[in-house]
Amino acid sequence: MNNTIENIVSLCKRRGFVFQSSDIYGGFSAVYDYGPLGIELKNSIAKLWWKEMTQVHENIVGLDSGILMHPKIWEASGHIGAFHDPLVDCKQCKARFRADDLTEKPEGLNWQVIKCPKCGTTGNLTDPRQFNLMFKTHTGPVEESGTEAYLRPETAQGIYVNYQLVQVAMRLKVPFGIAQIGKAFRNEIIARNFIFRTREFEQMEMQYFVKPGTDDDLLKEWKEKRFQFYPNILGLNEAKIRYHQHGKNELAHYAKEAWDIEYKFPFGWSEIEGIHNRTDFDLSRHQEFSGKNLAYFDQPNNERFLPFIIETSAGLNRTLLAVLVDAYWEDKKNDRVVMRLNPRLAPVKAVICPLVKKGGLPEKAREIVDILKPHFKVLYDQQGSIGKRYYRQDEAGTPFGITVDHQTKEDNTVTLRHRDTQQQDRLSIDQLLPIIQKSI
Ligand code: GAP
């Protein structure tokens, strides 16, 4: 694993952002648990996405569909037949790779001329073999055929099969969108790079139902809107975000056109979100497999059609990893590590510290906690030297440190420390709430 990623993994464990699943049993590969700070950060990202993708659009509504669905859905969607990863094995060192990690165009290549990235030998790689990524399970008490079900590998299908119910219930007119945040599962054979590629993850997807013929323009519009979300709303460094258009060989089985939004991770440029023109592929397949007419009736023009779908599909965990990577800063001059999280995203907004544990200072500090805690998450800390307390919170990304000292008792003022600059201002207690609120 890359050095910076290793440091971030270790910080995430130390400070309670992310833990390896089943740690006391030696870990469970490619699954992660989110600790107290991680869940706050993940919720903040999801909340901002939800606001951006539902609240500010009058024609986009939300949905929360089940993880388990009728198994026929996955036949119709093409996932049972075509949701594969091409994998290559090295006969020499037994390492296994995703073929598309080794070359952009895995199909039709002579694998005998490619070097194994692990042991460096040539001529030992097998031709790619296809592995289906769907997790299978059973419903009911008996494991037999006919009771098989799948954990969804994308949240999108739950939206497609509910699209007509939502449209009628909410009296929506094309173009309209349905947004959903939820878990998805893929039996990734090669899982690596921390929370970048895991077997259980969360997607934030929006499916936009449009009139055929308007799809190309609307894809362009959504592609631009979604790009802006990362610097403008999450505050990521724009120089580290770019588009990547899928070539013919990369297109998923449902897509006519596809773009990735990529972030420059320490292990290279990699996808955080996909924007796809899925045409009427999904709705026409569900229409065929369910036998139900899924056409939309356009009343003013008195016509019926199957809408095309423009999909924006972001990974919540990958976005969180991009946020962590973007924030990570080794402040060599001051010998500290700082998570320069956007105050809006920071799990804890302020730490409140009495300078010493006596003389009425803890009580005064508790009063400040009581003033601030109805508005945002704060933390009381009286453990250790003040410097150590601040450095702990720098690693947690807490933007403000408030210190209560002897002067506080005399004039009701405190010091407010800013995480990134370490600058400290003296101000009165009643100024704290408006200042912090403004920054978040
Ligand atoms: N509904 C379309 C769809 O699922 P995708 O490109 O396969 O498209 C969309 O996935 C997003 O989901 C990706 O951009 C990524 O952020 C996230 N994602 C996919 N597989 C993942 C995995 N194994 N671990 C974490 N995130 C994943």
* The pLDDT value given to residue 2: 66
Q: Is residue 340 situated within a structural domain? A: no
* Residues 385 and 315 occupy one common structural domain: no
- Could you give the percent of the chain with pLDDT greater than 70? 98
Q: Is the CB of 278 under 6 A from ligand 1?
A: no
In the reported structure, the alpha carbon of residue 315 is separated from the centroid of ligand 1 by a whole-number distance in angstroms of 6
Nearest to 20 by CA among 285, 172, 200, 276: 200
Total Cβ atoms within 10 A of residue 37? 23
In the reported structure, the alpha carbon of residue 84 is separated from the centroid of ligand 1 by a whole-number distance in angstroms of 14
Which residue is listed with tokens 């003040």? 386
* Residues 160 and 105 occupy one common structural domain: no
* Residues 183 and 277 occupy one common structural domain: yes
* Residues 249 and 273 occupy one common structural domain: yes
Lowest mean pLDDT, pick from 132-136, 206-210, 231-235, 415-419: 132-136
* The pLDDT value given to residue 112: 82
- Could you give the percent of the chain with pLDDT greater than 90? 84
Q: What ranges in 58-117 are assigned the alpha helix state H?
A: 72-76, 79-82, 99-102
Q: Is residue 419 situated within a structural domain? A: yes
* Residues 213 and 242 occupy one common structural domain: yes
Q: Is residue 42 situated within a structural domain? A: yes
DSSP per position, 347-384: S--EEEEESSSSTTHHHHHHHHHHHHTTTS-EEE--SS
Q: Is the CB of 274 under 6 A from ligand 1?
A: yes
pLDDT greater at residue 97 or residue 157: 157
Instruction: Report the distance separating Cα 141 and Cα 42, nearest Å.
Output: 35
Nearest to 4 by CA among 384, 326, 416: 326
Segment 347-355 shows an average pLDDT of 98
Instruction: Report the distance separating Cα 215 and Cα 277, nearest Å.
Output: 7
Name the residue of 32, 134, 154 to mutate for ligand 1: max ligand atoms within 8 A of Cβ: 154
Residue 75's domain is classified under what CATH number? 3.30.930.10
* The pLDDT value given to residue 1: 61
pLDDT of 42 over the 90 cut:
yes
In the chain, the amino acid numbered 39 is I
Q: Is residue 259 situated within a structural domain? A: yes
pTM as predicted: 0.92
* The pLDDT value given to residue 106: 67
Instruction: Report the distance separating Cα 146 and Cα 151, nearest Å.
Output: 16
The confidence band for 97, taking pLDDT boundaries of 50, 70 and 90, is confident
Q: Domain tally for the chain?
A: 3
Q: Is residue 5 situated within a structural domain? A: no
pLDDT greater at residue 131 or residue 274: 274
Predicted confidence (pLDDT) per residue in 257-301, tens digit: 999 999 999 999 999 999 999 999 999 999 999 999 999 999 999
In ligand 1, the atom with minimum distance to the C-alpha of 196 is: 25
Give how far the C-alpha of residue 331 lies from the chain's centroid of Cα atoms, to the nearest Å. 27
Q: Is residue 28 situated within a structural domain? A: no
Q: Is residue 69 situated within a structural domain? A: yes
Predicted confidence (pLDDT) per residue in 147-204, tens digit: 899 999 999 999 999 999 999 999 999 999 999 999 999 999 877 799 999 999 999 9
Lowest mean pLDDT, pick from 99-113, 206-220, 325-339, 375-389: 99-113
Which residue's alpha carbon is at the smallest distance from atom 5 of ligand 1? Answer: 274
pLDDT of 431 over the 90 cut:
yes
Q: Is the CB of 318 under 6 A from ligand 1?
A: yes
* The pLDDT value given to residue 368: 98
The boundaries of the domain holding residue 123 are 84-132
